[in-house]
Amino acid sequence: MNIVVLVKYVPDAQFDRHLTGDAHTIDRNESILSELDEYALEAALALTDARGGAKGGNTVTALTLGPAAAAAAVKKSLQIGATQGLHVSDEALAGSDASATSLVLAAAIRSLGNVDLVITGMASTDGETSIVPAQLAARLGLPQITFASSVELDGATVTARRDGDDFSEEIQATLPALISVTDQANEPRYPNFKGIIAAKKKKVTTVSLADLGVAPDAVGLAGSLTRVAAAAERPARTAGTIITDSGDAGIQLVDFLAAQKLI
């Protein structure tokens, strides 16, 4: 079977992150593979491992969209175990919103031909809108199972659990389908030495918008359907009063709450 996993190169949340420029887009220095995509990759690898892995004719394609540096997200995915990579790289993509992003991702997935399953993380750790999986499913005409906390595959039937606020649901769909997985879905594996060496021989295809037949003005800032009119950095929180308990900290806590009129 052929699985496509979306992998995104996002600013590392361990550092301060910024918006930049007139269009208030994200500053992409110090970026890494989005942590939440590791669960999607693990879900794909577990499904293909159970079916004989690459030797059994299964492929896991790590797909990314972004500038040249975004290839690092694909490379890390190959080290972890993906079979091959596809990188959509084009200057016109800069500043794409979810709508433009899902448009290009749909074209890239169509270009791969026979895809059984598209697996994504629950959200990217930069934009955090979590709407790209549903938009991608809508564009590809695939059934969507989003926010899956477990995924099982029996023949062509995929069964997933989805834990919402009000209900826990079991959902079924027939392949081909799109699934987004939460961080409850599995424990992602790490790249090992063997994987790092093997990744050097794996193929990464880089394509442009022209290769995919997507017009440059359909994407990027020009093709995005949302605009950020203004942006401001929230003042950093500063430490307030810190006390060490010497027997009456609970009382002092209540004094603080009372002073703030919270009790």
| Residues binding another protein: number (CB under 8 A) | 90
Options 56-64, 88-96, 200-208, 245-253: segment touching another protein (CB under 8 A): 245-253
Options 1-9, 56-64, 176-184, 188-196: segment touching another protein (CB under 8 A): 176-184
Comparing CB distances to another protein, the nearer of 38 and 90 is 38
Comparing CB distances to another protein, the nearer of 68 and 251 is 251
211 is an interface residue for another protein by CB under 8 A: no
Q: Report the DSSP pairing between strands 144-154 and 157-163.
A: antiparallel
- Which residues share a beta bridge with 125? none
Options 40-48, 67-75, 129-137, 196-204: segment touching another protein (CB under 8 A): 129-137
The residue within the footprint of another protein, chosen from 23, 26, 32, 54 (CB under 8 A), is 26
φ/ψ (deg, to 5) at 156:
-100, 10
Count other C-beta atoms under 10 Å from residue 99's C-beta.
17
- Residues 54, 58, 63: CA angle, nearest 5 degrees: 100
22 is an interface residue for another protein by CB under 8 A: no
Report the sign of the C-alpha dihedral through residues 21, 22, 23, 24, in that order.
positive
138 is an interface residue for another protein by CB under 8 A: yes
Count other C-beta atoms under 10 Å from residue 262's C-beta.
8
The residue within the footprint of another protein, chosen from 101, 120, 164, 196 (CB under 8 A), is 164
Interacting positions 50-109 with another protein (CB under 8 A) = 97-99, 102
Comparing CB distances to another protein, the nearer of 197 and 249 is 249
The residue within the footprint of another protein, chosen from 46, 112, 131, 198 (CB under 8 A), is 131
The least CB distance from residue 17 to another protein, in Å, is 4
Three state DSSP letters for 74-135: HHHHHHHCCCEEEEECCHHHCCCCHHHHHHHHHHHHHHCCCCCEEEEECCCCCCCCCCHHHH
Interacting positions 191-210 with another protein (CB under 8 A) = none
The least CB distance from residue 206 to another protein, in Å, is 27
Q: Name the residue with tokens 């997933």.
A: 160
CB 121 within 8 A of CB 34: yes
The residue within the footprint of another protein, chosen from 52, 129, 197, 217 (CB under 8 A), is 129
